[in-house]
Amino acid sequence: MATMKNSIAFKLKPIGNEIEKVGEKGKNFLKSHGFSDDSVQMQIMVIRELIKSGNAFDNQRPSRNEMSVHIFIKKNTIIAEVRKPVNETTHDNQLQKLDETIQWIRGYRDPYAPFMMSAQEASENYIDNKSNGFGLAKIAYEAGAVLDYYVSEDNILNLSAVRHVTEDAKHC
């Protein structure tokens, strides 16, 4: 019996149909591990929102505008991680805003409240809602995922969502 890989990674430039290609590959990977259609669709939403949130970090270096998406499975836990190079100036304002947003979401027992507040903010500021936290709040509320991030020593942003799935998938 062949052993299935419990992780997969994709590189992409978050433009056009590349996000859809990642979604399709991620869908096939998760389906091969026995996750239901509903669970797969939810996880693809998580990945898309992480990509959008990661893409909000403008590193001002077009040659390094590539990101990578990683999906890890351990029993009924799915970890999605987006990695993107950031420059040193990003640390000052954008990363502080990201940290504040994640801590704000985590500060609520039920992620419904930050989800609704960020949805209202997004609708009020629809022209410039690039990083208002709506996508991250959506991940926490709709997918029940725990969000986290860190920046590595080589200035790579690692933005992740950990989701526990209660269905019985094939264990890795």
Judge residue 115's burial from the number of C-beta atoms within 10 Å of its C-beta, 0-12 exposed, 13-18 middle, 19 or more buried. buried
Mean of pLDDT values over 138-145:
93
Mean of pLDDT values over 43-63:
79
Report pLDDT for 42: 96
| Minimum mean pLDDT range among 26-30, 62-66, 110-114 | 62-66
Single pTM value for the model: 0.84
Top-confidence residue, 104 or 171: 104
Give the Å distances, CA to CA, from 165 to 11, 146, 158.
25, 12, 22
For residues 143 and 163, the answer to whether their CB atoms sit within 8 Å is yes
- Give residue 146's pLDDT band: very low, low, confident or very high (50, 70, 90): very high
**Mean pLDDT, the chain, integer:** 82
Report pLDDT for 128: 47
Report pLDDT for 46: 96
Task: Check residue 127 and report its DSSP letter.
Answer: G
Order the strands of the 156-164 sheet from edge to edge.
Answer: 7-12, 67-74, 77-85, 156-164, 146-151
Give the Å distances, CA to CA, from 25 to 32, 44, 69, 94, 132.
11, 10, 11, 30, 28
Domains and CATH numbers, the chain: 7-164 (3.30.565.10)
Report pLDDT for 52: 87
Report pLDDT for 171: 47
Mean of pLDDT values over 134-159:
92
Top-confidence residue, 94 or 79: 79
For the stretch 87-136, pLDDT in tens is 776 666 788 888 988 998 888 778 777 788 877 776 565 444 445 588 89
**How many CB atoms are closer than 10 A to CB 8?**
16
